Structure 1
Amino acid sequence: MFSRPSFIDDDAIARAVADHWLPAITGVEHLPWGFGAHHWRARGAGGEALFVTLDQLAPRHTAESLEAAYAGAAALAAAGLAVVCAPLPAASGRFTVGVGPGVLSVTPWLDGRSPTEAEAREPRHLAEVVAALAALHQTAPPEGLPRWRPRVGPGFADELRARTAAAWTSGPLAEEARAAIAARGAAIGRWTARYLELGDVARSRQDSWVPTHGEPHHANQVVVAGGLRLVDWESLALAPRERDYASLLGTAAGAALAPDPAMVELFALDWRLSEIAEYARWFAAPHTGNDDDHVALQGLHEELSDGP
């Protein structure tokens, strides 16, 4: 996230990191990176650095699902999957620690950088991403890995219609968000019906599901001296392989993968509807109109404008 969290300060993060991962910590630095989780860099007295992530819980996660995802990523790395930037175990042996309304995890600090969107679509880089995802999808799934499941139910469109029937007064962007959602109620209903239909098809084929990252786009890729690393494994789950193909579609690399069109459509809708659900919660709740709020509003308009 670009803005600092209002519910926890840097000192609390530093204490948690010191208690569970890095006793000789010298300080933490908040990083205005990404969208959805909060991040810090923690430094140790010996010059080491850790990348610290605070994931919030409901409605997207539970403490158990995040622990299972991060433990699964560590198991994949231990099995030899070099593309995984794996979480480090805490002193307890677990990979997450409860802190306030979320859970904390850490990974080694990577000396590299994420490609831009343009760089991520260059043929050489795409080939590396395809190879990395193929290796992931061919790896035996660790025990206890979460399974993909639909992120909205059959009543989603009706619930949104009811919630957007009256004005929102929760913040400066609330009414614009409410009106945008209300205007697309019929489309959201169509998208939801199709999504649930395709979800049933996917679940009928669970014997072919593979470990999937969930969001292997350019912002979750880091290029280091040893090659590509994928970060942010909080969405790791068993699922159809097409769950990982969004960033590859429309490229020669994507066409060579011969994805199932129905599963491509499923995961396009999975992203769209889960984003709309999250933004509806976001703007119905108190907000101030900060940078994160404006990025979220732009994201909401993008998801609502795509498709018939």
Structure 2
Amino acid sequence: MRDLPAGLPGHDLRAGLARFGITGPPVYAPVGFGDYHWTVYDRWFTSVSDLTAKPLAGLRQAMETAASLAEQLPFVVAPVRSDDGETVVLLNDRYALSVFPYVMGKAGSFGDPVHPGVSELLTALHRCEPPADTPVAPIDVPARAALTALLDEPGEWFSDQAREVFVAHTEILHAALTELDLLAGQLPDERVVTHGEPHAGNVIHSPQGLCLIDWDTVGLAPPERDHWLVGGYSAFYSLRRAVNDIADFTQKLRAPHEQSRDAELTLHYFTETLTNL
């Protein structure tokens, strides 16, 4: 994210870091697309989640799962615990903080080729014993009901340009949802622990080997939920990702927002994803 989060004063962030015993100055890191990140002394990497897009209960469940997985699998970069034992702490009524050890190394970017060794990490992950309370990855798109309602009545949008693009692609979206239902019925019954987003941007090449970061999408699902991103193929999960992204972008572009670089990128990805359905 290029822009700082609206509604998060610096003193709220510092107070949250203090709960982990961290008192150094946070330096903003404009990386990724979704959460907001700061580093502290190249020792800590922080992730601040917007709870309007990522419910607190689900975030806590995912972070607790990651912490448990790290006890079995050395490549899992899991959150550390606050002084009172939490993997996620509230900063205010909109934002929540997790803190991770800073991993020295080089990460890729989304769309880059994934290192062949990642397949070995995923094999180990899929074979591990699921921690207690591992979330179940949803098969359907979580925001599907709202998206379907908009197909019948687009309503008002803060971004008129985004609304025009959406309306021009309603038939294509209807067809995509129908196909998604058909493909969902063909999924295997097997459920294993999956990362959910093992693309190159979530892989760090460290001196100790490959590491997987960004575990907020961890969940029980068929193995192909991961494999299609590392050289495999899944008609269902590739289409689901596109529809899910459209639903997320729709929510952001309909709501009031500032004209910023992040808003421009959201509109770009929204248009590109719809066009490529």
Question: What is the TM-score normalised by the length of structure 2?
Answer: 0.92
Summarize the Cα distance change of 1:175–1:284 in structure 2 as closer, same or farther, 3 Å threshold. Answer: same
Aligned counterpart, 2:210: 228
Q: Does 1:132 align with 2:109?
A: no
Aligned counterpart, 1:65: 58
Aligned counterpart, 1:108: 101
Q: Aligned runs of 1:1-150 on 2, under 5 Å?
A: 1-18=1-18, 20-23=19-22, 25-43=23-41, 49-59=43-53, 61-79=54-72, 81-100=73-92, 101-116=94-109, 120-121=112-113, 126-149=115-138, 150=140
Summarize the Cα distance change of 1:226–1:158 in structure 2 as closer, same or farther, 3 Å threshold. Answer: closer
1: CA distance between counterparts of 2:46 and 2:142?
Answer: 30
Summarize the Cα distance change of 1:131–1:111 in structure 2 as closer, same or farther, 3 Å threshold. Answer: same
Contact kept in structure 1, 2:8 and 2:95, CA below 8 Å: no
Q: Which runs of 5+ in 1 are unaligned?
A: none
Max radius of gyration: which structure?
1
Q: Work out which structure has the larger RCO, using CA pairs closer than 8 Å and 6 or more positions apart in sequence.
A: 2
Contact kept in structure 1, 2:38 and 2:45, CA below 8 Å: yes
Aligned counterpart, 1:271: 241
What SS does the corresponding residue of 1:135 show, helix, strand or coil? helix
CA deviation vs aligned residue, 1:30-71 (integer Å, no higher than 9, x gap): 11111000111124xxxx721110112244x32111111111
Identity %: 26
Q: Does 1:298 align with 2:268?
A: yes
Q: Does 1:164 align with 2:154?
A: yes
2: CA distance between counterparts of 1:187 and 1:107?
Answer: 41
2: CA distance between counterparts of 1:237 and 1:303?
Answer: 24
Summarize the Cα distance change of 1:9–1:58 in structure 2 as closer, same or farther, 3 Å threshold. Answer: closer
Contact kept in structure 2, 1:153 and 1:196, CA below 8 Å: no
Could you tell me how far 1:116 is from its partner in structure 2? Answer: 4.8
Could you tell me how far 1:195 is from its partner in structure 2? Answer: 1.6
What root-mean-square deviation, in Å, do the aligned CA atoms of Structure 1 and Structure 2 show? 2.0
Could you tell me how far 1:237 is from its partner in structure 2? Answer: 0.5
Contact kept in structure 2, 1:157 and 1:189, CA below 8 Å: no
Question: What is the TM-score normalised by the length of structure 1?
Answer: 0.83
Could you tell me how far 1:248 is from its partner in structure 2? Answer: 2.2
Higher fraction of helix = 1
Count of residue pairs the alignment pairs up: 275
